[in-house]
């Protein structure tokens, strides 16, 4: 019993000292993670390339999305190492094709996605996310259509993806179509980060639709579109202007079209 109490005292002392160390130690600036070249890892992993690839992937996710991190800019390098170690590991290609454009790595995203289609195990998410990148960031409807079609033809592609591929280009409103794409990403992805992003995009387009509808009501009442969105509130059509989920400001033009303020 005495020994047990001494043991408990020691354990509590260890935990307490650890707590105070964390509390007292100043926060040092974040050191960027070191990333070994894939060739060096291959020379030392005893042929366990898939496990090494999985390990770098987990490390990439933890480093990239840690709160307050500044390491997102290393994401393309991480993804390249992951897939140089295991070129058949499909998800990092899909992830890169979807997430990198948001970090201003549009060309890298396309390169990674196209390599994924060539080298990875069959996975509809790679061409699908690549198509969304072409559509949204490059405004390249031809390539978007091409990759939507590849996605629709991939084994295990969900019906919603096939429908998007079929409808792509037929809807008169581009924005509506983009919204449809994000809705299908939200419905098909199991990853919280991607679903969260898709939700933000859907919300973003819904707010634009709401503001345009409010602008039409304004025109019916007062004969012309408002020259700024604040007038929708002063004329009591809306209680407030919704805040864009990506943090941008909305603007309205003379034809009542709402968009993100570019300057």
Stretch that binds other proteins, among 17-25, 45-53, 101-109, 131-139 (CB under 8 A): 45-53
Among positions 78, 93, 95, 201, the unique one binding other proteins when judged by CB under 8 A: 95
Q: Is 46 in the site for other proteins (CB under 8 A)?
A: yes
Member of 33, 35, 54, 137 binding other proteins (CB under 8 A): 54
Long-range contacts of residues 78-81, Cβ cutoff 8 Å, at least 24 apart: 78/35, 79/112, 80/38, 80/112, 81/35, 81/36, 81/37, 81/38, 81/41, 81/56
Residue for token pair 């990239």 = 64
Closest listed residue to residue 163, CA positions, set 146, 143, 181: 181
Cβ closest to other proteins, residue 14 vs residue 58: 58
- Residue 43 near other proteins by CB under 8 A: yes
**Does 47 sit near other proteins (CB under 8 A)?**
yes
- What CA–CA distances, in Å, run from 193 to 82, 157, 178? 19, 20, 19
- For other proteins, the binding residue among 75, 78, 79, 89 (CB under 8 A) is 89
Q: How far is the CB of 87 from other proteins (least distance, A)?
A: 10
Instruction: Write the CB contacts of 57 (distance below 8 Å, at least 6 apart in sequence).
Output: 78, 82, 89, 91, 92
Segment contacting other proteins (CB under 8 A): 9-17, 38-46, 108-116, 216-224?
38-46
Tell me the closest approach of the beta carbon of residue 52 to other proteins, in angstroms.
Answer: 8
Nearest to 60 by CA among 47, 43, 77: 77
Kindly identify the residues of this chain, within the stretch 193-222, that bind other proteins according to CB under 8 A.
193
* Dihedral sign of CA atoms 216, 217, 220, 225 in order: negative
Quote the Cα angle for 129-137-124, to 5°.
10
- CB of residue 113 to other proteins, shortest distance in Å: 17
* Residue closer to other proteins (CB basis): 125 or 179: 125
* Strand ranges inside the chain, DSSP E: 250-252, 258-260
Taking the C-alpha atoms of residue 78 and residue 57, their distance in angstroms, rounded to an integer, is 7
| 145 counts as binding other proteins under rule CB under 8 A | no
Residue of 92, 23, 109, 17 whose CA lies nearest to 54 = 92
Residue 53 in contact with other proteins, rule: CB under 8 A: yes
57 binds other proteins (CB under 8 A): yes
Q: Of 148-187, which residues contact other proteins (CB under 8 A)?
A: none
Query: Among residues 62, 216, 228, 234, which is the contact residue for other proteins, using CB under 8 A?
Result: 62
Nearer of residues 57 and 168 to other proteins, judged by Cβ? 57
Contacting other proteins (CB under 8 A), which of 107, 121, 187, 227? 121
For other proteins, the binding residues (CB under 8 A) are 43-44, 46-51, 53-55, 57-58, 61-62, 86, 88-89, 91, 95, 121, 189-191, 193
């Amino acid at each position: 019993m005495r020994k047990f109490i001494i043991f408990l005292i020691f354990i509590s002392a260890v935990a307490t000292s650890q707590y105070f160390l964390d509390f007292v130690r100043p926060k040092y600036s974040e050191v960027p993670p070191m990333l070994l070249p894939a060739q060096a890892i291959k020379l030392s992993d005893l042929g366990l390339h898939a496990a090494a690839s999985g390990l770098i992937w987990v490390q990439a996710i933890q480093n990239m999305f840690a709160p307050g991190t500044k390491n997102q800019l290393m994401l393309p390098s991480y993804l390249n190492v992951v897939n140089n170690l295991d070129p058949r590991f499909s998800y990092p290609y899909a992830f890169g094709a979807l997430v990198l454009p948001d970090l201003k790595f549009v060309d890298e995203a396309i390169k990674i996605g196209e390599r994924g289609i060539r080298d990875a195990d069959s996975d509809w998410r790679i061409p699908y996310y690549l198509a969304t990148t072409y559509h949204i960031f490059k405004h390249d409807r031809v390539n978007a259509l091409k990759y939507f079609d590849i996605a629709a033809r991939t084994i295990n592609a969900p019906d919603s993806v096939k429908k998007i591929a079929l409808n792509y280009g037929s809807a008169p409103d581009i924005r509506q179509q983009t919204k449809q794409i994000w809705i299908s990403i939200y419905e098909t992805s199991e990853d919280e980060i991607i679903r969260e992003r898709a939700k933000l995009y859907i919300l973003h387009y819904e707010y634009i639709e709401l503001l345009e509808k409010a602008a039409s009501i304004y025109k019916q009442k007062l004969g012309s579109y408002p020259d700024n969105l604040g007038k929708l509130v002063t004329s009591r059509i809306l209680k407030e202007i919704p805040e864009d989920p990506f943090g941008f400001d909305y603007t309205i033009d003379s034809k009542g079209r709402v968009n993100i303020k570019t300057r």
